[in-house]
Amino acid sequence: MKRIILFTAMILGTSLYSTAQDKPDKYILSGGELIFSFANVGSGYDNIIRFSPFFNAQSWRVYDWGEFGLFHGLAIRNVGFIAEDRSTNTRVKFRTYNIGVPVGFKYDFSQNVGIYAGYEFEVPFNFKQKTFINEKKEDKFNSWFSDRTPTLAHGLFVGFQFVNGTNIKFKYYLNSFLNTDYEAIVDGTPFRPYEDLDAHVFYFALTFNIFKDLDVYVLD
């Protein structure tokens, strides 16, 4: 994991150094995401696709040197997964809202068409869990800055941008969505509810860059 982060930083650093002598074209892209997420939940569970259209927003500060560019930004993201145990007819939905900081690079094949990739770390600030048994909701709770998730999440992403700001993006989280060491107390007895649920979330997203600076991007 550390090698991946170091390798990414070296690529970005080398690219930035090699283009530092040229003045870049700078602008801000802003928009949202429609996320279709999954997770590696292990052999004891089935995974169900989760669709989260709300609330996902992001803004990138872009530096272009011709076809090549670098970017960093800020995002708020609704991420989660659904695990089902068919033997007990139990379905559990997990969700966090995260603040994310992405960094990456891009390459344009033509105007507004290209590929990009990068690394992003996120801070989960709100956790929600819902439990359904036989399709009936049995439990629901949420908490702020919960110990049930890691303090930081991080992952790698890659995407393709079409004309008019439409993107297809894939992202994979390098650490588990849940804190597998978290201990809960039930009737005075401690137990770890997530120790067998080392779930790494990944998702596909339709991303839309709606604004370029203060102008509507699709009209650019």
Note the pLDDT tens digit of each residue in 62-120: 999 999 999 999 999 999 999 999 889 999 999 999 999 999 999 999 877 999 999 99
Provide the CATH topology of domain 29-219. Answer: Porin (2.40.160)
Residue scoring higher pLDDT (30 or 8): 30
Question: Would you kindly state where each structural domain of the chain is located, as residue ranges?
Answer: 29-219
Q: What is the pLDDT of residues 170-219, one digit of tens each?
A: 999 999 999 999 999 888 899 999 998 899 999 999 999 888 887 766 54
pTM: 0.86
Cis peptide before 157 (omega within 30 of 0): no
Helix (H) or strand (E) holding 11: helix 2-19
DSSP string over 164-204: GGEEEEEEEESS-SS-TT--EEETTEEE-TTTT--PEEEEE
Q: Which of 42, 8, 2, 75 is nearest to 176 (CA)?
A: 42
